[in-house]
Amino acid sequence: MNKSFFSRLRVILLDRDGVINQEPGPILNPDQFAMIPRSAEAVARINKKGWKCFVITNQAAIARGDLTKEVFEQITKKMHLELQMVGAHIDGQYFCPHHPDWKNGRRQTNSLPCLCRKPGTGMLEKASSDHGFVPQEAVFIGDTTTDFLAAADWGTSSIGVLTGNGGQDDKTSVFPNYWSDDLWSAVDFLLKNSD
Ligand SMILES: [Mg+2]
Ligand SMILES: [Zn+2]
């Protein structure tokens, strides 16, 4: 383990579904939003360390017409409440409401890719320019290969967690730099290997 790899670490980028909350399928209402054990406590440890923490999430259910932005906001509120219960918070959230084949609940005849949907790096770039950090100061924790590819393309390191998809989605063939059991273990690993 190269300790200096995380020597500049000050920003933790988190995928949401399968990392913070369970992902039995797309989360379409607040009742379906259930935290993964110890994920809120893991965010509290990130906060306590003084690292910034941003959520980076694809929400194609909005493009498919299965989820409105209003309901997505209600789900976000529930996430904030779950975090607050253990004194944790996130510093911002970026979401992609698009899907190349869907718009406003209608299937598109011509595929219209956006720049933000992971494995695109648009949300990472936006977070970086909004909050003034570079890829070398961040790490991306995700559960799907599109997370790992987005991180690699943007030049930041990644940790794959075995919760959610556990990297078994087969969408890309990219591996993360490290694997951890869950968000708690990933944060534990980062705390031990930074500074
Ligand atoms: Mg995920
Ligand atoms: Zn998008």
- Domain residue spans of the chain: 3-192
Q: What is the pLDDT of residue 29?
A: 98
Q: Residue range 10-34: average pLDDT?
A: 97
Q: What is the pLDDT of residue 4?
A: 54
> How many angstroms is it from 185 CA to the middle of ligand 1?
17
Q: Is residue 5 scored above 80 in pLDDT?
A: no
Q: Residue range 108-137: average pLDDT?
A: 96
**CATH code, 3-192:** 3.40.50.1000
Q: Which two tokens stand for residue 136?
A: 């070398």
Quick count: other Cβ atoms within 10 Å of Cβ 172?
15
> How many angstroms is it from 57 CA to the middle of ligand 1?
7
Instruction: Give the ligand whose atoms come closest to the C-alpha of residue 163.
Output: 1
> How many angstroms is it from 109 CA to the middle of ligand 1?
27
Q: Residue range 115-126: average pLDDT?
A: 98
Q: What is the pLDDT of residue 164?
A: 97
Instruction: Give the ligand whose atoms come closest to the C-alpha of residue 63.
Output: 2
The rounded mean pLDDT for the chain is 96
How far apart are alpha carbons 89 and 64 in whole angstroms? 29
Question: 195 pLDDT band (50/70/90 cuts)?
Answer: confident
The phi, psi pair for 188, rounded to 5°, reads -55, -45
- The letter for the amino acid at 82 is E
